[in-house]
Structure 1
Amino acid sequence: MTRRQILLIDDETDIQTVAKIGITLSTDWEVITANSGEAGLDVAIATPPDAILLDVAMPGMDGLATLAALKQNPATTDIPIIFLTAKAQAADRRRLYEAGAKGVILKPFDPTTLASQMAGFLAWPF
């Protein structure tokens, strides 16, 4: 089996660090990071990952705009997206699923269960 690659797009370096540690401690997945929607889009086009963990609230191109751009590009349209968000309201989560998310993980998240949550949303063995 090939090693899975996750693209983590979040403007907060602390979130990137904690998520990356949580994912790599319990899996052999490779985690690459981008600190903006624009940078994440560039990375995803250049080297399409197996999945994207995407922050909703970012300056410039936010998570929803990033998702829309990913869906418009034939090279990235089928990459599953899981959102990270601090907005816990059902209406907020529903809007993300309606936009095409495979899953929504609330911040603050538990880094020790992050990979298993992702695997569950993606129907990957864990």
Structure 2
Amino acid sequence: MGAGHALVVDDDETIREVAQMALELVGGWRVTTAADGAEAVELARTHRPDVVLLDVMLPRVDGPAILSMLRAESATRDIPIIYLTAKATPGREEEWSQTGATGVIAKPFDPMTLADDVARLIGRDT
């Protein structure tokens, strides 16, 4: 059955590719990717992923704004959202959680532990 379906949202193609490979090959996830906010919201609506990995710094519409859009719709309101950010610093976890995110994974992330990190943050056994 696999671990579920993840939507990875990042404007950096390399980050999307590494995350996709890490989640699919190491974690057994099915992965859909998006390069921007509009695409992310549409894919979340249509695919209803089990988790969204969301870059904080995106062009035009940033991660927190996308999170707000997803939380405002009944179809996407309950999807766990994990921020992917280079700005994750120790001690700021509470600040991120106040935005409604389920958790934060710092970039650069370890491809070998990404699937386990995601599963831990959303409360799934690996």
TM-score, normalised via structure 1 length: 0.93
Tell me the secondary structure at the aligned position of residue 22 of structure 2: helix
Superposition CA RMSD, Å: 1.4
Q: CA deviation at 1:100?
A: 1.0
Tell me the secondary structure at the aligned position of residue 99 of structure 1: coil
**Structure 1: gaps (5+ residues):** none
Q: Tell me the residue number matched to 1:10.
A: 10
Q: Which amino acid aligns with 1:39?
A: E
Q: State the number of aligned residues.
A: 126
Q: CA deviation at 1:2?
A: 6.7
**Structure 2: gaps (5+ residues):** none
- 1:1-126 matches, cutoff 5 A: 1=1, 4-90=4-90, 92-126=92-126
TM-score, normalised via structure 2 length: 0.93
Distance 1:67 1:95, change over 3 A: same
Task: Report percent identity of matched pairs.
Answer: 41
Q: Which amino acid aligns with 1:120?
A: R
- Determine the C-alpha separation between the residues in 2 that align with 1:67 and 1:34: 14
**C-alpha distance after superposition, 1:60-111 (max 9, x if no partner):** 1110000000000010000000000001334653322101111100011101
